[in-house]
Amino acid sequence: MKGVSPVSAVVCLLVLVAACASPREPGPSEVRVVATGLDDPYEMVWGPDAFLWVTEKSGRRVTRVDPANGRKVVALTVDDAVHTTGGQDGVLGLALHPDLLGGKGRDWVYLAHTYEAGDGRRTKIVRYTYDPARQVLTSPSDVITGLVSSVDHQSGKLRFGPDGRLYYTIGDQGANQFGLYCETIEAQTLPTAAQVRAGDWSDYQGKVLRLDLDGSVPGDNPEFGGVRSHVYAVGFRNAQGLAFAPSGLLYGTDQGPKTDDEVNLLRPGKNYGWPHVAGHRDGRAYVHARWAEAKNGCAAETFDDYEIPPAVPRTEETDWDDPAFTPPLVTFETVDDDFDFRADTRCDPATAFVCWPTPALSSLEPGPGGTLLATSLKDGAVYRIPLTSDGEKAGAATRIADTVNRYRDTAVDPTGRTLYIATDGAGFTRDAAGTPTRVLANPGTILSYEL
């Protein structure tokens, strides 16, 4: 377990470095191992059977875990799911119908996963029926198919809303950076009426979607540009957190490019800014470099995380405005324009992203006492975010449950006292000193922590 020495606490006070911005809470609770041997658990939900229902992204399974003893029962192997080694695709979001095991004939479980379509990889959402006698998921029925997919920024979180609709986050697919730097970010691109009529969902990336349970477009979905589609809100980069609070308000996280991870209050018809804006529209430490529009063609340019070549057009945050723009409730690690992203010499070019200040928020869960709980991939920590009583504002986050792991998702038991945390199987995180490491304390594990 990580701890904060008095010396480092004093150093934090003195220099107020970004990593110290969220004070750690004292407390007697410790992190315990519940179950091991999971292949990149991605989404974890507390079920009415008092089991944790877990998707395994690379394992291409849905596994039920008994939190009392860690026993694992495979409910489904997704034969047509595909996963790229090291990629963000695979078996992703899971949502349970509220009538599951309620004796109403609606023992339904919704699952999102990547699959091989004729013309490349896509994502679909499928409804399965749970057979409690055999403890397996059967009778797959497609809800929606043909959603975009790539190796990066899938987001892929699925929720059953209090309004009886499905909500799904779909990321910007990792466009405009790293190996995909010549792809254009389509998070602001709106589907046309002709596309909706044709069932063409190819412009849904970088959005939050809202679907009827049969996959159709709800009649009360918002219109964007005069067109009603599955799109509920636009302008996201990698929205891996999605949570309905008991109030019915919907919250989500987004991962910033190097700064400005976000917690957002999600409302229909709103624009959350990406890629024009990261965090607030404040012109701090982010400009949008449009690599695909490079003067001599994108391929003529070499991608660089820090220097934008003169031939690559750029847009400042303040160059863009939209009345629907909705700033985040909270940002994590907003830094100033002169922040040196290369200053941390503990990272090399291959691990630079680990040293950039953002925590890489990876999930969101309602916590006790009107809080939200967000996991971090780069910190192996859960951030506890207090909300105001009306849910419209949030206070400063505090860190709990620190370990050297990549935290992927959480679930809370019905008492609200025990928090379960699922960890990635591999990848980089930061150790207690903030140094990048790929030695994870508990890879592919479900941990518990008493709140």
> Residues with catalytic annotation?
153
The number of residues in the chain equals 451
* Under rule CB under 5 A, residue 206 binds Ca ion: no
Stretch that binds Ca ion, among 41-49, 151-159, 200-208, 254-262 (CB under 5 A): 254-262
231: nearest Cα among 270, 174, 198, 278 = 270
Stretch that binds Ca ion, among 87-95, 241-249, 272-280, 398-406 (CB under 5 A): 272-280
Give the span between the Cα atoms of 189 and 197, in whole angstroms: 17
Give the span between the Cα atoms of 300 and 306, in whole angstroms: 17
Which of 279, 357, 380, 443 touches Ca ion by CB under 5 A?
A: 279
φ/ψ of 180, rounded to 5, equals: -105, 25
Which of 273, 275, 367, 444 touches Ca ion by CB under 5 A?
A: 273
Report DSSP state, residue 387: B
Stretch that binds Ca ion, among 97-105, 114-122, 265-273, 402-410 (CB under 5 A): 265-273
Q: Please state the closest distance from residue 178 (CB atom) to Ca ion, in A.
A: 20
Stretch that binds Ca ion, among 39-47, 100-108, 177-185, 267-275 (CB under 5 A): 267-275
The amino acid present at 9, given as its one-letter code, is: A
Q: Please state the closest distance from residue 415 (CB atom) to Ca ion, in A.
A: 34
Stretch that binds Ca ion, among 264-272, 290-298, 358-366, 426-434 (CB under 5 A): 264-272
What is the radius of gyration, based on Cα positions, of the chain?
Answer: 21
Distances (CA, A) of 384 to 89, 244, 264, 394: 28, 16, 14, 10
Give the span between the Cα atoms of 152 and 175, in whole angstroms: 8
Q: Please state the closest distance from residue 244 (CB atom) to Ca ion, in A.
A: 19
Q: Please state the closest distance from residue 234 (CB atom) to Ca ion, in A.
A: 10
Q: Please state the closest distance from residue 376 (CB atom) to Ca ion, in A.
A: 18
Q: Please state the closest distance from residue 339 (CB atom) to Ca ion, in A.
A: 12
The residue assigned the tokens 């410790």 is 30
Handedness of CA 414, 72, 86, 82 (dihedral sign): negative
Q: Please state the closest distance from residue 281 (CB atom) to Ca ion, in A.
A: 6
Q: Exposed, middle or buried by CB within 10 Å (0-12, 13-18, 19+), for 150?
A: buried
How many CB atoms sit inside 10 A of residue 279's CB?
Answer: 27
Give the span between the Cα atoms of 111 and 250, in whole angstroms: 20
Which of 201, 272, 332, 356 touches Ca ion by CB under 5 A?
A: 272
Give the span between the Cα atoms of 80 and 103, in whole angstroms: 30
Lay out the sheet containing 108-117: strands in order across. 91-96, 108-117, 120-131, 136-148
Which of 66, 212, 282, 322 touches Ca ion by CB under 5 A?
A: 282
3-state secondary structure of 93: strand
For residue 426, what are its two tokens?
């591999």
Residues within the interface to Ca ion (CB under 5 A): 262, 272-273, 278-280, 282
